[in-house]
């Protein structure tokens, strides 16, 4: 268990700068989808109610808040592994709770406006963005946030500069 916790707490921070592009894509999508769950009832409370989630209001608000905060975490590249892991689990639950009934033609949600409307092709079409989000989060889980991230900034060794308050603050934190 210690190895798993250590792995999550110590992500690689020397990845390519281009990882920022993936973080911006995934973090942005989660961020604005979280906001949409508060703004539009059919995306938040209404959707969770139709899907039969227990305590739909609490669940919808929890998921929306987690998407907003987690989206910001990905955008800034902090707690990236924890956030990516959370979003992978969330997306798997979202896929299972919405796409199985679409496959069977029993979805309580509106049917897609254009064919395919049910079956495997409908599922594959409707799950395309979920699939992309899961794979990007899996990449971030494995590779970390990259060089241009708060994770990397916080891991950099501190250079002691004359008159720089940063080393003093960090030395004080180590003593605590």
CB 116 within 8 A of CB 131: no
Annotated domain spans of the chain? 2-175
| 163-175: pLDDT as tens digits | 555 555 555 455 5
pTM: 0.84
| 122-164: pLDDT as tens digits | 999 999 999 999 999 999 999 999 999 999 998 887 665 555 5
Cα dist. 70→21, 129, 136, 137 in Å?
16, 17, 14, 11
CB 149 within 8 A of CB 75: no
Dig out the tokens for 74 from the structure: 């990905």
| 13-38: pLDDT as tens digits | 899 999 999 999 999 999 999 999 99
- Phi then psi for residue 95, to 5 deg, are -65, -50
Query: How confident is the model at residue 5, as a pLDDT?
Result: 92
């Amino acid at each position: 268990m210690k190895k798993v916790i250590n792995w999550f707490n110590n992500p690689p921070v020397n990845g390519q700068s281009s990882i920022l592009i993936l973080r911006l894509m995934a973090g942005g999508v989660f961020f604005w989808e979280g906001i949409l769950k508060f703004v539009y009832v059919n995306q938040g409370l209404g959707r969770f109610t139709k899907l039969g989630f227990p305590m739909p209001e609490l669940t919808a608000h929890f998921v929306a808040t987690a998407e907003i905060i987690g989206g910001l975490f990905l955008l800034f590249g902090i707690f990236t592994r924890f956030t990516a892991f959370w979003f992978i689990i969330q997306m798997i639950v979202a896929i299972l709770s919405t796409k199985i009934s679409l496959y069977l033609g029993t979805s309580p949600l509106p049917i897609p406006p254009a064919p395919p409307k049910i079956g495997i092709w409908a599922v594959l079409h409707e799950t395309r963005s979920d699939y992309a989000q899961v794979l990007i989060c899996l990449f971030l889980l494995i590779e970390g946030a990259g060089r241009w991230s708060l994770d990397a900034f916080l891991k950099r060794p501190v250079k002691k500069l004359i008159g720089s308050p940063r080393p003093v603050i960090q030395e004080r934190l180590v003593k605590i």
